[in-house]
Structure 1
Amino acid sequence: MPENATERRYGSGWDCDVGYQVQGDDCIHTEIPENAFATGKSYGSGWACRHGYREVGGACQAIPVPENAFLHASGYGWECERGYRQVHSACVLIEVPEHAFLTEEPSETGWRCERGFEPRNDRCVVIELPENAHLDRSGNAWRCDQSFQLANGQCVLGR
């Protein structure tokens, strides 16, 4: 058994200690760059970058996180804080108009109109309900009452 190796618990043979890799019949020291740690694996580089860093050309470089963003739990990217939307490599404030609220879909407008209002030209305007109509389940559009049908923007008694 070579130096810097441990006998396997099960079966026969040996494994290199953490920080060493098999090379022929020996365990050679693995060079671990700054901001990395030994993986204990006998394949690949034998190391991985710490949380918040990524491998670039055999080194670990910090992942740049823009203002108003945070590092993903995975450590491999970033996400904008609530109230901000990603535009290229920056987080831009979502402008929420009056009578609107933030949503969890920052890829679209990032906001939705309150019940009784509808989006129009980046604003929320009051929904004008015609006679014999009601707000639909979304609260952002209307439908004709039962037994009425839409005709020329009005709800008229159906046949």
Structure 2
Amino acid sequence: MPQLFRTTWRANLSLGIQMSAVLIGFTLCALLLFSMPAFAQSTSQSVPENATATSYGDGWKCNAGYRLSGDVCAAVVVPENAYPTNRTYGLGWECLHGFRENDEATCVAVIVPDGGFLDSSGERWHCSRGFLKIDDTCQEIVVPANAYLADTTYGPAWECKRGFEALDDRCVAIVVPANAYLNSSGYGQPWTCERGYFVQDGTCAAVMIPEHAYLDDATYGTGWKCERGYATSGVNCETIELPANAHLDRSGNRWNCNKNFKSSKGLCVLDN
């Protein structure tokens, strides 16, 4: 009797375990069946219409020709005088040549004033040569007589011809004194004295060359220089008297003591 009881009990226990396993498996299958459609629905709802899921992460982006508006992708509205760029960034459109963007909503025409031209960007204008930009206009430059247009970014828009200088809004003739010629300096005195003459009170006076001297083209000094063996003395050239044991220096207008001698009171004495 006890042996039969144990056998029956074991059989019932085994059957119970098997039934429990079947019930658990059925429950898991049911849960999976119900959850899979919900997951797919959630995934499909996360990417709105006219959008594409990114290749990484859980994000998405609007397709070309659409822009994010709240949680949806709305079609790009291209204003008049514009064209679609079919890009996923920016406004999605750009203004045609000759128009410019206004408040990221419209394209307004670029108004080019008389005397101006539209630049290569199609969004700005510049004044033509001979005109000056003043506010939103191009005013013609008045070039005085004896002048010509100058391509400068500052100062007057014209320059005087050679032989003339600016005086207020005119170009007046430069008065060149006798024995002088026009120079090419852009500043200072516009004329230079010829060789053998020097500036004196607005004129060119002749250089008076003393005996034993010659013309010196240096821009400073007297305009002449003493010959070798002579030294300047006022407006004359005097003979250099060499003391014993002395020689003329490199310039030829002074003297130095020979080696082993030194100068002392106009003489060259032994340097012991």
Q: Same fold, TM exceeding 0.5?
A: yes
For 1:1-159, what aligned pairs fall within 5 Å after superposition?
1-9=112-120, 12-41=123-152, 44-74=155-185, 76=187, 77-159=190-272
CA RMSD of aligned residues (A): 2.1
TM-score if structure 1 supplies the norm length?
0.87
Question: Structure 1: how far apart are the matches of 2:173 and 2:115?
Answer: 31
Secondary structure at 2:181 match in 1:
strand
What is the percent sequence identity of the aligned residues?
A: 42
Q: Which protein has greater RCO, CA pairs closer than 8 Å, 6+ apart? A: 1
Q: 1:116 to 1:18 in 2, by over 3 A?
A: same
Question: Structure 2: how far apart are the matches of 1:10 and 1:50?
Answer: 36
Higher mean alpha-carbon deviation, 137-146 vs 42-51, is at 42-51
Question: Structure 2: how far apart are the matches of 1:22 and 1:149?
Answer: 75
Deviations 1:9-38 (A, max 9, x none): 568422212221123322222211111112
Q: Which residue of 1 aligns with 2:33?
A: none
Q: How many residue pairs were aligned?
A: 159
Q: Which residue of 1 aligns with 2:55?
A: none
Segments of structure 2 that go 5 or more residues without pairing to the other structure are 1-111
Rg larger in 1 or in 2? Answer: 2
Q: Which runs of 4+ in 1 moved over 3 A?
A: 9-12, 40-45
Structure 1 residue 7 displacement after superposition? 2.9
TM-score if structure 2 supplies the norm length?
0.53
Q: 1:90 to 1:147 in 2, by over 3 A?
A: same
Greater helix content:
2
Secondary structure at 1:34 match in 2:
coil
Q: Is the 8 A contact 1:52 1:75 kept in 2?
A: no
Secondary structure at 1:3 match in 2:
coil
Question: Structure 2: how far apart are the matches of 1:27 and 1:117?
Answer: 69
Structure 1 residue 4 displacement after superposition? 2.0
Greater strand content:
1
Structure 1 residue 41 displacement after superposition? 5.0
